[in-house]
């Protein structure tokens, strides 16, 4: 049986390649959601740090100290080295998860050359002829394959981007008919990359649990059950009017944690941490992996570690590619705040539900800032201010 999207699917890449000068109406965001971009002398649009302030080049941060960039940078070699260095790592991790929900991870064990091979295979698929790609078209039930929208609400405003999504774990959830055979290296490169990311995510979950002082009987790993892992490759073509659209509209990731490999040359990711009223550009640190907290970890930690709103802005001259691995609780795992993290005499801040039920929000309704998680905040709890 075929499951259909509510409207015929347009591939954004092919719209962009058709040379249109204006963005079609269904991609135009309401004024309040439009990115603040600045146009430089050559006519190229860049994301502005703040409206009216100087343009920050997204692709180059030479001469900028990492501290002044914003999103904290953590060195996994500190965690692996033990002793005082790993204690310092835990303190930085805790702070990053409480204040930013995002961190840039360096020395994670994968070389830049290796990451480039992953990006190259991923990009190769999007540059295949359209007919070849259409054979992998996804549907709104499994989501696996080549896609161009999130959510199946008729008439929704669409994002200026295409993607490729696959279930990776458990292995039984894979639909191998959706795994590209072209480029030839695609399957082996992605399989190998996902294996390494899964291994890295186990280290991160362990560090996260220790940073929360969780006891061995009640770790995040335990609470996740059998991990569900997904891979999403995002492809954002150049956009003729980037000031009207978003490559990916504001959302927090529904799952546990996400490990994101940015395009090494083209920025576009912006985050809005709880203490900020403005969107902050996330710089590209070549070779780093971005790690971010998803809604399930916010729920499990009773709001202590935050999933943070993020979005992607487009530009008018460069395509952008990113790869995200989502590490989630098992589909049928019931997720609710860990009792150890709920203050005595307080009710849990969130209602319990399975991850599968939770994920159906974004799959049905699309991105919605932090609306999905806020909708399951328990009304009787003292919801932390930052989620209001």
45 or 259: CB nearest ligand AKG: 259
Q: How far is the CB of 276 from Fe ion (least distance, A)?
A: 17
CA 374 distance to own-chain centroid: 18
Could you give the CA distance from residue 192 to residue 111 in angstroms, rounded to a whole number?
13
3-state secondary structure (DSSP) of residue 298: helix
Could you give the CA distance from residue 352 to residue 348 in angstroms, rounded to a whole number?
9
Choose among ligand AKG, Fe ion, none what residue 370 binds, the Cβ cut-off being 5 to 8 Å by kind.
none
230 or 242: CB nearest Fe ion: 230
Choose among Fe ion, ligand AKG, none what residue 232 binds, the Cβ cut-off being 5 to 8 Å by kind.
ligand AKG
Q: How far is the CB of 265 from ligand AKG (least distance, A)?
A: 13
Choose among Fe ion, ligand AKG, none what residue 108 binds, the Cβ cut-off being 5 to 8 Å by kind.
none
Can you read off the two tokens belonging to residue 271? 């985050």
78 or 159: CB nearest Fe ion: 159
Choose among Fe ion, ligand AKG, none what residue 295 binds, the Cβ cut-off being 5 to 8 Å by kind.
none
Q: How far is the CB of 233 from ligand AKG (least distance, A)?
A: 9
Could you give the CA distance from residue 281 to residue 12 in angstroms, rounded to a whole number?
23
Kindly list the residues in this chain that would bind ligand AKG in the complex (CB under 6 A): 232, 234, 248, 253, 260, 262, 269, 310, 312, 322, 324
Q: List Cβ neighbours of 135 (8 Å cut-off, separation of 6 or more).
A: none
> For the chain, what is the radius of gyration of the CA atoms?
20
Choose among Fe ion, ligand AKG, none what residue 269 binds, the Cβ cut-off being 5 to 8 Å by kind.
ligand AKG
214 or 308: CB nearest Fe ion: 308
Is residue 237 within 8 A of residue 319, CB to CB? The reply is yes
Q: List Cβ neighbours of 239 (8 Å cut-off, separation of 6 or more).
A: 16, 23, 160, 245, 247, 314, 315, 316
210 or 260: CB nearest ligand AKG: 260
Q: List Cβ neighbours of 139 (8 Å cut-off, separation of 6 or more).
A: 2, 3, 4, 5, 145
Q: How far is the CB of 318 from ligand AKG (least distance, A)?
A: 13
CA 49 distance to own-chain centroid: 20
Q: How far is the CB of 2 from ligand AKG (least distance, A)?
A: 25
Q: How far is the CB of 110 from ligand AKG (least distance, A)?
A: 17
Kindly list the residues in this chain that would bind Fe ion in the complex (CB under 5 A): 253
The residue nearest ligand AKG at its CB is 322
The residue nearest Fe ion at its CB is 253
Q: Is 305 exposed, middle or buried (0-12, 13-18, 19+ CB in 10 A)?
A: buried
159 or 253: CB nearest Fe ion: 253
């Amino acid at each position: 049986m075929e499951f259909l999207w509510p409207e015929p699917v347009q591939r954004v890449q092919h719209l962009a390649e058709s040379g249109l000068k204006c963005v079609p109406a269904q991609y135009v965001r309401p004024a309040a959601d439009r990115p603040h971009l600045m146009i430089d002398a050559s006519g190229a649009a860049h994301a502005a740090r703040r409206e009216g302030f100087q343009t920050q080049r997204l692709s180059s941060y030479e001469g900028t100290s990492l501290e002044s960039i914003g999103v904290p940078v953590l060195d996994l070699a500190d965690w692996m080295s033990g002793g005082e260095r790993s204690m310092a790592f835990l303190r930085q991790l805790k702070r990053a998860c409480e204040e930013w929900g995002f961190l840039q991870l360096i020395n994670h064990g994968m070389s830049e050359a290796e990451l480039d091979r992953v990006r190259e295979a991923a990009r190769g698929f999007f540059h295949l002829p359209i007919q070849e790609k259409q054979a992998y078209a996804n549907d709104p039930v499994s989501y696996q394959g080549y896609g161009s929208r999130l959510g199946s609400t008729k008439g929704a405003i669409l994002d200026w981007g295409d993607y490729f999504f696959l279930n990776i774990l458990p292995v039984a959830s894979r639909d191998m008919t959706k795994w590209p055979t072209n480029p030839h290296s695609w399957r082996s490169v992605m399989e190998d990359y996902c294996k390494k990311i899964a291994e890295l995510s186990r280290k991160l979950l362990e560090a996260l649990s220790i940073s929360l002082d969780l006891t061995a009987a009640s770790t995040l790993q335990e609470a996740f059950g059998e991990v569900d892992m997904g891979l999403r490759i995002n492809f954002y073509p150049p956009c003729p009017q980037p000031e009207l659209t978003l490559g990916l509209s504001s959302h927090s990731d529904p799952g546990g944690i996400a490990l994101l490999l940015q395009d090494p040359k083209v920025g576009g990711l912006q985050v809005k941490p709880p203490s900020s009223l403005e969107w902050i550009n996330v710089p590209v640190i070549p070779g780093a992996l971005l790690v971010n907290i998803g809604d399930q970890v916010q729920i499990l930690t009773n709001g202590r570690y935050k999933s943070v709103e993020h979005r992607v802005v487009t530009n008018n001259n460069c395509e952008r590619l990113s790869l995200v691995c989502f590490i989630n609780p098992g589909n049928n795992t019931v997720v609710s705040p860990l009792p150890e993290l709920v203050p005595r005499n307080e009710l849990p801040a969130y209602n319990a539900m399975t991850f599968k039920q939770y994920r159906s929000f974004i799959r049905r309704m699309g991105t919605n800032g932090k609306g999905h998680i806020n909708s399951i905040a328990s009304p009787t709890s003292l919801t932390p201010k930052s989620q209001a």
